[in-house]
Amino acid sequence: MPEDKPVSFAADIRPLFRDIDVEHMRDLGVLLDDYAYISERANADNVLAALKGDGQTQMPPHGPYWSVEQIALFSRWVDAGCPP
Ligand code: HEM
């Protein structure tokens, strides 16, 4: 996706989470499909750290891990202020 195009949660980020990701993480209180939850900066930062495996088990456990491009897109979305 072009670097200058605004990143949207609904259009670009939400589709990257599989049903199994949403369901497993909901049980642990991490609401990957809930815009109000994931757009809170602290939650978005924690999800980004989990996707990268910074200081914790990389998510999803055992992969398939997000590509460098997908992680960069999530990071760009966070930097943009987590727009809907
Ligand atoms: C705040 C961010 C996150 C935290 C703290 C977190 C933590 C955890 C923990 C503790 C488990 C259970 C133990 C384990 O299997 O290692 C787990 C399971 C899982 N997580 Fe996450 N996770 C986060 C984000 C994510 C994200 C972003 C994804 C997907 C892109 C994801 C996908 C999964 C899946 C699919 C499982 C179930 C694995 C299985 O049972 O085989 N998680 N997560």
Q: Which of 14, 48, 59 to mutate to test the pocket of ligand 1 (most atoms within 8 A of CB)?
A: 59
* pLDDT at residue 7 greater than cutoff 90: yes
For 22-58, the pLDDT digits (tens) are: 999 999 999 999 999 999 999 999 999 999 999 999 9
Q: 50 in a domain, yes or no?
A: yes
Q: 2 in a domain, yes or no?
A: no
pLDDT at res. 21: 98
pLDDT at res. 5: 87
Q: 14 in a domain, yes or no?
A: yes
Q: 4 in a domain, yes or no?
A: no
Average pLDDT, the chain: 97
Range of the domain at 55: 9-79
Number of domains present in the structure of the chain? 1
pLDDT at res. 3: 79
Burial class of 37 by CB neighbour count within 10 A (0 to 12, 13 to 18, 19+): middle
**Contact between residue 25 and residue 32 where contact means Cβ atoms under 8 Å apart:** yes
Q: 1 in a domain, yes or no?
A: no
Ligand 1: list residues with CB < 6 Å. Answer: 17, 20-21, 24-25, 28, 30, 32, 46-47, 50-51, 57, 59-61
